Structure 1
């Protein structure tokens, strides 16, 4: 479970972020603050793993709040800003992404997935508690039978209305769960979202070709072609650079 705090002096903006987080699997909202001074006072007690924090706030702005916290107590941060720029200082403050206001739903999902991935590398070695929370086995119906599909055997997943389709071992399995919700239950060290309608297992990536419209074309080891939308291309390139 990732502990999250929301910090924004605009009530409507703060409520909008809280609404997006509400009921999201693997997320626990532990605090909200209406200004930087209150956040600086409260964060050492609420101890979130991640803060979604407004850059421009009276008193203390978002970067000042983060820089005032001791490095050992500083959570990961996603900046909320109305401007497509932020200080270079942010790169030294555990800032992993920024979201432009008004917030785009796909970019919001992408930022949280990046936070989940970053959190894997922040937890102490040998700590398997977070990984244990991710889905390990899917239970799906096949006629009159109940079939169990291991997450480790899934090559990629596509959206089909309110269902998700698992592609594993050359077979298709329907799961009664929207892709949006399923994505939060998958281990971000193993799976990555490449399109609003597709998730792939990272180890199945074979090649990628950039397209002229800023999208990209992926090919999996089994030859399956998948499109990567520009919304998710940056995260994918980051993952590939780490391999």
Structure 2
């Protein structure tokens, strides 16, 4: 059983200390790091980790506030980290799994991991006994697709519904979500995001462009076999001939 872990702390050295300790445990997989509460909130929504190591005190939004913005069902198992024990009561009010004081004691760290393993195993056994085994098997054969994205707007985190996205373009390490004439940056490369999109709704038309199929109003084939698309809001997009056959089939369907 692999436990997917997110490490959140505004101090890079503190994050490194946690990740190095986790590397000694083969069942722990670090899937990401965050240096502030806003980034952590986005990462939790996007990657749904099993376990989060979360610093209590961070600039801007602290760990307790971050977890408090999530509904009980959205909250992952959380082990809080802090140099002060005065936050212990509040940590357990948001159902924290454990609470470690800095500097971290290796024995206490191992105990917290054991508690995480036991809790996760209990949850999974409970789900299976409730008749979810067949549902989980179905989901393995039918991948789920992203229905919303968490993006940062200043110091806020906004949630963009996939159904509201008109098209998406590659912007280096980010994907630009075009929604009603506005662009929202998602911290994810386009090729990674493409795997999470519903192929019945979104289609790659260029190595740097994905479009929502139902937003396409016109298609014109150019002399070099590329295509010029015009969306319903008038936006022109160029489609590479590499994707031409699949695009025409999607539009015909």
TM-score, reference length from structure 1:
0.50
Computing the radius of gyration over CA atoms, which structure comes out larger, 1 or 2? Answer: 2
TM-score, reference length from structure 2:
0.48
Larger helix share, 1 or 2: 2
Greater RCO (Cα-Cα under 8 Å, separation 6 or more): 1
